[in-house]
Every structure is written in structure tokens, then in C-alpha cells.
Amino acid sequence: MSITKKCNLNCRECYYKGRENLELVKRIVKDIAASKVKAVAKGGGEPMLCPNITDFINFLAESGKIVSITTNGICKPIDGVSKYE
């Protein structure tokens, strides 16, 4: 699942540019939460640049989903995300 294509780096080999449609992402998150999917992996872009990342993580985690996020580690940690480490 890709929640943002925005990134704070400019790696030449990366093909993620721009930003996902936030309303579409919200619908996808709700669909995943209601599904039998057990785990969600976030790929592409820098997730910590998404203004709603904490809401998405909390919603999926509270729905019993396992959430995996890969970050480049450049951004300052976001309050509320570290409780899931």
C-alpha cells in the first residue's frame, strides 16, 4: 500500500514522485480495516511526510492489523507512532 509518493530525498533510481490522493488512501485504509487482511506493508515515498500517518496507523492497529512501515529515517519521529515499535 502506498499512502504517499512524496519524499524528502531525491534518489535517482526512485520512481515515486508526487502525492497520492488522500481521500482514496482513506477509503483504502477503511477497506483494509474491514477486511480479513492480517498485515499491511507501507511502501514507496516517505510515510512520515504524510500528514495523516498517525491516524492511518492507529486505525489499522486498532482494527487488529499488523502494520509495517519503511522509512528513510530522515524525518523527526511523529508523536503517537513510537508506541507501536
Tens of pLDDT, residue by residue over 27-52, are 888 898 899 888 887 767 888 888 88
What are the residue boundaries of the structural domains of the chain, listed by start?
22-84
Separation between Cα atoms, residue 83 and residue 18, nearest integer Å: 29
pLDDT tens digits along 68-78: 888 888 887 76
pTM: 0.66
How far is C-alpha 36 from the chain's CA centre?
Answer: 19
Amino acid at 56: F
The size of the chain, in residues, is: 85
- Phi then psi for residue 73, to 5 deg, are 80, 5
